[in-house]
């Protein structure tokens, strides 16, 4: 709901001031009045005025000089010039000095309301633009804060490990040195992944990422992705099963689909239990292709599912405490799926496992 609009009527005719006030207050506007330019400018400078109706001829000055003052002092108040001396020249002159509109006397309540409504819509749009600008600034600052935190923590860890090496706290044991360097490498890989995800996200949201659809076989792409993660799955004793029959022809952007399904397969293994199972299903039915990636892992709590595709969101549970991640992967997945004209759904039972279902058009346009 829009905030109340406060209107100032500057006119030396008492009947005009009272008439405007009566019409406008009946519609819920807050109305103040001034009988001359000095009083009107004082009220404008004191703030709290959103719209001014300014008479062209006033006892102490003309309305044009008030427009000059409003503009020179940077007062953010649109003005409607009201006058009995309405000519094309005066209307053009008032507009050049910043008048929002021009209303010729005598005018009816309907004409007054029409002019005010147009100005109020302008004020509403200005307020919305200001709100969006402030929200964008807030989001940008929050984004920087989160990224700084996400990079600062692993950097501090690496610095601590390297300091221990330099100060000799690790001794001369090569195995101790190897463990420390492996931990440094792990933290560095996490930072690299965060930076890569940030770059992907920035390209998508800025619209600079160009999609290049081509004829492809989805089954071959899924085979390749599963093969890449076989060593990771073997280390956790996770079995990866493939339930699809090649070929699965599509016309789509291979790079985008690789990012989508790499994230989903990686997560299915990463958040799985030792000795668990991942199942990758895919099929084409008519004009659509559906891919399901299921796991028997730790699952997702109901309250976390609502925020799952939010940037930088990571579920905080005892099971996820030591699992690395940027919190950007699923946000990128959803944006890419929607960019390709598809949809993504998730089903999960905490403690039992999760299924992500991606549905895409078999042939993507452009």
Domain match, 74 and 151 both? no
- Asked if pLDDT for residue 3 goes beyond 90, the answer is no
- pLDDT, tens only, 275-295: 999 999 999 998 999 999 999
CATH of the domain at 237: 3.30.565.10
- pLDDT (tens digit per residue) in 39-54: 999 999 998 899 999 9
Domain boundary among 206, 230, 263: 206
Tell me, yes or no, whether 55 and 172 share the same domain. no
CATH number at residue 51: 3.40.50.2300
Burial class (CB in 10 A: 0-12, 13-18, 19+), 114: middle
Give dist(CA 356, CA 79) in Å, integer. Answer: 56
pLDDT of residue 325: 55
pLDDT band at 263 (very low <50, low <70, confident <90, very high): confident
The answer to whether residue 114 is domain-embedded is no
| Confidence band of 112 (pLDDT split at 50, 70, 90) | very high
| Residue 127, in any domain of the structure | no
Predicted pLDDT of residue 111: 94
Does residue 219 sit in the same domain as residue 145? no
Domain assignment present for 133: no
Q: Is residue 122 part of a domain?
A: no
**pLDDT on residue 1:** 45
130 falls within a domain:
no
Q: What integer best gives the mean pLDDT of the chain?
A: 85
- For 277, the domain range is 214-361
Residues composing the chain:
366
Same domain, 19 and 98: yes
What is the per-residue pLDDT for 158? Answer: 86
Report the CATH number that the domain containing residue 180 is assigned in CATH.
Answer: 1.10.287.130
Distance between CA atoms of residues 20 and 113, nearest Å: 10
Winning range, highest mean pLDDT, from 142-151, 166-175, 229-238: 229-238
Residues 311 and 357 in one domain: yes
Task: Tally the domains of the chain.
Answer: 3
123 inside domain: no
Q: What would the mean pLDDT of 20-30 be, rounded to a whole number? A: 93
């Amino acid at each position: 709901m829009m905030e109340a609009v406060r209107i100032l009527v500057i006119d030396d005719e008492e009947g005009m001031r009272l008439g405007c006030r009566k019409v406008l207050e009946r519609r819920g506007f807050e109305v103040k009045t001034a009988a001359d330019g000095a009083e009107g400018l004082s009220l404008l400078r004191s703030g709290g005025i959103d719209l001014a109706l300014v008479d062209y001829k006033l006892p102490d000055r003309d309305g044009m000089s008030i427009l000059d003052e409003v503009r020179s002092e940077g007062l953010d108040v649109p003005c409607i010039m009201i006058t009995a001396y309405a000519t094309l020249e005066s209307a053009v002159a008032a507009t050049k000095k910043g008048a929002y509109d021009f209303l010729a006397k005598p005018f009816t309540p309907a004409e007054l309301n029409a002019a005010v409504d147009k100005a109020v819509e302008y004020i509403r749009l200005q307020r919305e633009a200001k709100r969006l600008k402030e929200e964008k600034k807030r989001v940008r600052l929050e984004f920087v804060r989160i990224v700084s935190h996400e990079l600062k923590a692993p950097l501090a860890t690496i610095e601590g490990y390297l300091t221990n090496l330099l100060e000799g706290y690790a001794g001369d044991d090569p195995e101790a040195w190897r463990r420390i360097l492996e931990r440094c490498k792990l933290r560095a890989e996490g930072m690299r992944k965060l930076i890569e995800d940030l770059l992907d996200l920035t390209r998508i949201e800025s619209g600079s990422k160009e999609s290049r659809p081509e004829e492809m076989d989805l089954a071959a792409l899924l085979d390749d992705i599963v093969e890449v993660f076989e060593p990771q799955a073997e280390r956790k004793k996770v079995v990866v099963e493939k339930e699809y029959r090649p070929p699965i022809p599509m016309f789509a952007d291979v790079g985008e689909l690789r990012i989508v399904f790499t994230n989903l397969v990686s997560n299915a293994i990463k958040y799985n239990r030792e000795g668990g199972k991942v199942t990758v299903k895919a099929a084409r039915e008519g004009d659509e292709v559906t891919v399901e990636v299921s796991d028997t892992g730790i699952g997702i709590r109901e309250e976390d599912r609502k925020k799952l595709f939010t940037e930088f969101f990571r579920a905080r549970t005892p099971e996820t405490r030591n699992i690395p991640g940027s919190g950007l992967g699923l946000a990128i997945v959803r944006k890419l799926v929607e960019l390709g004209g598809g949809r993504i759904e998730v089903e999960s039972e905490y403690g039992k496992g999760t299924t992500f279902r991606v549905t895409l058009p078999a042939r993507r346009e452009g």
